[in-house]
Amino acid sequence: MASTYTRWIYHGEPMEDTMIENTGHRGEQIDFTADVNLNEVEEADPNEKIPDMVRELFTSEAGRRKKSMFAILLEEMKQELYPGAAYSRFSFVVKLLHLKSFYRISNVAFTAFVKLLADAFPHCSIPTSYEEAKKLIRALGLGYNTIHVCPNNCVLFRKNYAAHDVCPVCSASRWKDKDGRKKIPEKVLRHFPLIPRMFASKEISELAQWHKLKRNAVENELNHPTDGEAWKAFDTKYAWFAQDARNIRLGLATDGFNPFGKMNSSYSRWPVFRIPYNFPPWECMEQSKFIMGLLIPGPLCPGTDFDVFLEPLIEELLDLWKGIPTLDALTDKSFDLHAAVIWCIHDYPALSTLSGRVTRGYYACVRCDKDPCSRRIRNKIGASFQGTIHGGKKNGLTERMKDVKS
């Protein structure tokens, strides 16, 4: 579906008597009350509104209009690969990088391939190396920071340990080949910084405030996370946070997966995603709205060392809690953007990995916590014969176990 399909004329929405400025190059006006050929509308370029999107990303500075880096990149996305090409330069490079990743082409082979293309088609604006191709992706904010990790998951080689070649805890080497000239790290953590670019577009800025400004609440209906008790309790405890609808509520999701096949259990990676819940339900659950935070390397589950890998993410979230100066494109004013994690989404085994709490044995129940109603029966652990469920009412299982005991 075209991203600029804002008037749902093909799904029953009527043509209203409004005058809308054409976003084409002439700047003329179109009267939608006149007869419109729907075939011509279907053939319209869905990127016609790109100039408006670029115009939104201009920032004011001392009375002058100055382009942001993101605006410059969007203009780069409109550059043709060659006159009359079906792909832009940016989309062609993204396609090449996707093929490289999908078919597992090495960096050296990819560089040789794009260099051959650049020599064979000199009139096309094609990058000549893998690094040059990645520069376009980094400018879009899709890059990541590489952080070396101790092979035994003791520490991250950053800040005070950035210059260390051995782990200060277990004395393990940081490099695979200690004596070689080309130092290759044993383990690498990928950190994807959360840049406050969410309010660079007027449309996204408006969506981020939908939950408070445009949502129609219905009593006794749960149609958005704002209707939940957790959201309401958070707003009650931190009223200053709830006053500004632009402050972001995040969900944290993680789980391990096998990148080399479903049946391969010898290697796994752990991605950590951040999900913004300010958007409407049909937007916040879109995969395109998920924000990668960390990509934790394998081959084994980090287990109790998970908190070591979370260090850069936690520091980033603490900065967002204090507030980061951000420009709101909707109002063209600066404000302090705050964010908080109010949910974690994972299965029960991952709960133990992420939080560090016990999820098996006597303390397996999360609600019971330090006062469990469990008892060992031979070599098994089950519910206590004297235990009751929460609220003081006896469990049917407890009653049946009493009958078994008698």
3-class DSSP state of 214: coil
From the list 136, 96, 137, 138, the residue with the least C-alpha distance to 118 is 96
At residue 189, the pLDDT reads 93
3-state percent helix, strand, coil for the chain, nearest multiple of 5: 35, 20, 45
Average pLDDT, the chain: 75
b/e 49-60 (16+ beta carbons within 10 angstroms → b): ebeebbebbeee
The predicted-structure confidence for 221-248, as pLDDT tens digits, reads as follows: 888 888 889 899 999 999 999 998 889 9
The count of structural domains within the chain is 2
Same domain, residue pair 365 and 349:
no
Same domain, residue pair 251 and 224:
yes
C-beta separation of 71 from 50 below 8 A: no
Tokens (6 digits) for 40: 């011509």
At residue 197, the pLDDT reads 62
C-beta separation of 325 from 338 below 8 A: no
**Of the given ranges (15-19, 96-100, 154-158, 260-264), which has the lowest mean pLDDT?**
15-19
Same domain, residue pair 329 and 401:
no
What's the distance, CA 255 to chain centroid? 14
Instruction: Determine what percent of the chain is predicted with pLDDT higher than 70.
Output: 70
Same domain, residue pair 348 and 369:
no
Same domain, residue pair 251 and 346:
yes
Q: How far lies 213's CA from each of 198, 207, 209, 229, 246, in Å?
A: 17, 10, 6, 19, 10
Same domain, residue pair 332 and 365:
no
The predicted-structure confidence for 281-322, as pLDDT tens digits, reads as follows: 888 888 878 888 899 988 888 888 888 999 999 999 999 999
Same domain, residue pair 231 and 261:
yes
At residue 68, the pLDDT reads 58
Which structural domain, as residue segments, surrounds residue 211?
197-291+323-355
In a domain, 277, yes or no: yes
At residue 318, the pLDDT reads 92
In the block, residue with structure tokens 């800040």: 159
Q: How far lies 292's CA from each of 128, 144, 269, 289, in Å?
A: 28, 10, 13, 10
| Residue 8: pLDDT over 50 | yes
In a domain, 235, yes or no: yes
The runs of H, that is alpha helices, within 304-347 are 306-309, 311-322
How confident is residue 10, by pLDDT bands cut at 50, 70 and 90? low
**Comparing 75 with 373, which gets the higher pLDDT?**
373
In a domain, 259, yes or no: yes
Same domain, residue pair 332 and 396:
no
Same domain, residue pair 214 and 252:
yes
In the block, residue with structure tokens 């494109």: 329
CA distance 311 to 325: 23
In the block, residue with structure tokens 């904010």: 141
